[in-house]
Amino acid sequence: MMINQETPMQIEQIPMTRPHYQTGRKGRVRMIVLHATAGRGPGDLNWLRAGGDERRPVSTHYYISKQGRIVQLVDDANTAWHAGVSRWPVDGKQVSGCNAYSLGIELENLNTGRDPYPAAQYAAALWLCRTLVLRHDIPRNQLVRHLDIAPGRKTDPAGFPWQRFVNEVYTDLVPTPPTPPELVAQLQAHLLDLAYRTAGSGISAGWPLFTLAQQAKLGMPVATPTPRRTTTGTAQDDQDRGIALADAGTFVVEIYAGDLLYAPVEAFTATPPDPRQVLRLSQTPAGPLRDALLELLFRQADPVNGYRPDWAHHQHLLKNLASLGVPIGPNQRITISNGSAYVCQHFAYDSLCSPVPNWKTIYRLSDLSAVAAGTRSLPGLTKTQATLLRRSLLDSLYREQAGRQFEEQATLVRYALDKQLGAPLGAPETLELGEAHFLLMPFAKDVLACRLPSADWAYDRPVPTGTAINGLAATLGETSLPEIGHLSAYLSGYTQPPGSVAGQLLGQELAQPRLHDLSRWHDAPQPPPTINQIILWPTPGPLTSDLALPVVDFWHYYIQRDGTITRLRETPTTDTNMIIASEGDLNHASPRQRSALAWLLRILHATCAFDLRQVQIGVPR
């Protein structure tokens, strides 16, 4: 099948300044390897063009900027030095040293798992890979990421929507359609990919801790914390992910719904790491190391407050981690429809709330559900109050985690509640797989895949009566895929008994971005502030690192790359400047981040009546 060449893209030929590559190659090109530069253009391109440095010479065949500019540095006929120590099955034979068989493509990206890959860059990578696949007859399993061929050593391109990309590369290029088992395997890979992208990572699911987390039934990945990078020009190694914890050493940390796992960096010299070297927060004795792990855990969910050992909710977690799960959101205030104020925090398996200011009185969302259902009672709460509070908590949970209204009778919501899958961990997305279309959505204990009647089926539209619910392991025969399936079906052999449902899939998508208001710790409402100027302040990111900067006391809002807005301060500083910090350069902002900024400026303009011409980009002098 020929690639559509109606709008071919241009490839710029720019020679390297140092010949850090090998002329010629051993045989035909049989692989394509995608990387991330772990830097910003044009600096990363200049670094690649110079071949890295003499201590560590590198090269790549192609470079794609965030704007979609494609540059060729090394001819396809020559061997670039991009893969390093690597292994992969090529045409049925395991090979070591993939440089001899592959083309390397570097994507401009910080490789943090949060830095976006803009649409123009994605489109350029898709066009280039489709062109190269056709030119060199590359099979599907030989289009790979650096992290695939160097597990435990490389993590790039972190956060890239890999399974969707591969699927689109090979659309119409494969002469025979995939078999049902191949489609099921592809769906499994998409579910894994979504789980890790939601956690802000691109780390291979088999490395380093995922398998152990599944054996312990700890649910899906929630976060993969890493230290802030201090250098650019090379993608992150697993060892670079190490975080110094107290005086106990440096550890690689991954947070799952049910626990935090960590292992000493030294363990990652083996493939895979010795399971005996992987430790759990829940089994760590009290002391400086556990305190450091708790601070890291809470700081991922609540960058402003972190771990507060004197807070009732945090004390409650120490005794109930197995049933609560890890924190997934900040400690914040909500007000229910009768005007009562509560402080709440969401966890992977449950949520906690306390009436203001009775902090020691703690209600769990699961208990409120039982009261609302009339199966138990709680001191100080009527059934009506419990019902209102439960609804407010679920509204908050789905708004913040999925960006959608909570609709209890929606198919996926009802299914997740009935099967006790825990909190939603991210927004849904649509997958096209062969002639089938699926809605995918991550939850704390699983990732759901629900087959859609058509590609344009709205999530808040009722599905046909009798839509079947099956575990993904139950393939409905040899020629079809299940309607709703679980990632856990692949991992544990679990099969969900069939059922049938009717109704919309999810609540409506919310127009406004996620907003964490961490400033509302007073009882009296404040008048709208006087604003003479708004300053947009770019920061390196992520929020957990930026809040350690001394200038944070001057910030009022912070907008993350995923569009989440955190309100940090109640009123402007005395010079009437309002400062909005943004994760990363706004020139490279994701569509969600740009949309969130536009929404916030509109709200501030409406409430504070400032002149939109007084918006300044850059750090104030």
Distance CA 40, CA 116 (A): 12
* Residue 67 confidence (pLDDT): 93
How many separate helices (H) and strands (E) can be counted in the chain? Answer: 14, 31
In a domain, 550, yes or no: yes
Q: Choose the weakest-confidence range: 19-28, 37-46, 220-229.
A: 220-229
Per-residue pLDDT tens for 129-156? 999 999 999 999 999 999 889 876 788 8
Tokens 């009732």 correspond to what residue? Answer: 312
Domain identity same for 156 and 234: no
In a domain, 192, yes or no: no
Per-residue pLDDT tens for 560-584? 988 999 988 765 455 678 889 999 8
Distance CA 132, CA 508 (A): 41
Q: Which of 262, 286, 301 marks a domain boundary?
A: 301
In a domain, 27, yes or no: yes
Residue 301: is its pLDDT beyond 50? yes
Domain identity same for 135 and 54: yes
536: containing domain: 515-519+528-617
In a domain, 549, yes or no: yes
Domain identity same for 163 and 15: yes
* Residue 230 confidence (pLDDT): 53
Domain identity same for 485 and 600: no
Distance CA 4, CA 8 (A): 8
Of 207, 222, 208, 133, nearest in space to 170 by CA: 133
Read off the CATH number of the domain in which 134 is found: 3.40.80.10
Of 251, 392, 397, 429, nearest in space to 328 by CA: 397
Which residue would you say has higher pLDDT here, 186 or 376? 376
Q: How confident is the model at residue 324 (pLDDT cuts 50, 70, 90)?
A: very high
Q: Choose the weakest-confidence range: 219-223, 246-250, 449-453.
A: 449-453
Domain identity same for 22 and 141: yes
Which residue would you say has higher pLDDT here, 304 or 318? 318
In a domain, 263, yes or no: yes
Q: Which of 301, 316, 337 marks a domain boundary?
A: 301
Report residue 583: phi and psi, to 5°: -75, 110
Beta strands in 518-564 (DSSP E): 533-539, 557-559
Q: Choose the weakest-confidence range: 15-19, 77-81, 509-513.
A: 509-513
Q: Quickly count: other Cβ atoms within 10 Å of residue 279's Cβ.
A: 17
Most confident of 27-31, 204-208, 272-276, 538-542: 27-31
Domain identity same for 141 and 65: yes
Distance CA 327, CA 325 (A): 7
Q: Quickly count: other Cβ atoms within 10 Å of residue 458's Cβ.
A: 12
Domain identity same for 467 and 532: no
Domain identity same for 69 and 170: yes
The alpha carbon of residue 597 and the mean position of all alpha carbons in its chain are separated, in whole angstroms, by: 20
Q: Which of 301, 318, 350 marks a domain boundary?
A: 301
* Residue 475 confidence (pLDDT): 33
* Residue 131 confidence (pLDDT): 96
Domain identity same for 487 and 533: no
Mean of pLDDT values over 327-342: 90
Mean of pLDDT values over 178-200: 78
Q: Choose the weakest-confidence range: 183-197, 371-385, 531-545, 592-606.
A: 183-197
DSSP assignment of 267-313, as one string? GGGSSS--GGG-EEGGGSPSSHHHHHHHHHHHHHH-TTT---TTSHH
* Residue 204 confidence (pLDDT): 57
In a domain, 371, yes or no: no
Domain identity same for 171 and 77: yes
* Residue 114 confidence (pLDDT): 80
Residue 5: is its pLDDT beyond 70? no
Of 29, 62, 36, nearest in space to 142 by CA: 29
Residue 424: is its pLDDT beyond 90? yes
The CA distances from residue 219 to 31, 122, 222, 293, 349, in Å, are 34, 30, 9, 19, 10
* Residue 473 confidence (pLDDT): 31
Residue 478: is its pLDDT beyond 50? no
In a domain, 222, yes or no: yes
Distance CA 278, CA 535 (A): 45
Three-state secondary-structure class, residue 130: helix
Q: How much of the chain, in percent, has pLDDT values that exceed 90?
A: 45
Q: How confident is the model at residue 495 (pLDDT cuts 50, 70, 90)?
A: very low
Q: Quickly count: other Cβ atoms within 10 Å of residue 14's Cβ.
A: 13
Residue 309: is its pLDDT beyond 90? yes
Average pLDDT, the chain: 84
In a domain, 312, yes or no: no
Q: Yes or no: say if 169 and 105 are a contact pair by the CB < 8 Å rule.
A: no
Residue 391: CB partners within 8 Å, gap ≥ 6? 336, 406
Domain identity same for 550 and 456: no
Domain identity same for 122 and 270: no
Per-residue pLDDT tens for 511-554? 889 888 877 654 555 666 677 788 999 988 888 888 877 778 88
Which residue would you say has higher pLDDT here, 612 or 591? 591
Q: How confident is the model at residue 469 (pLDDT cuts 50, 70, 90)?
A: very low
> What total number of domains does the chain contain?
4
Residue 133: CB partners within 8 Å, gap ≥ 6? 32, 143, 169, 170, 173
Q: Yes or no: say if 50 and 15 are a contact pair by the CB < 8 Å rule.
A: no
73: amino acid identity, one letter: L
Partners of residue 424 on adjacent β-strands: 443
* Residue 34 confidence (pLDDT): 97
Q: How confident is the model at residue 275 (pLDDT cuts 50, 70, 90)?
A: confident
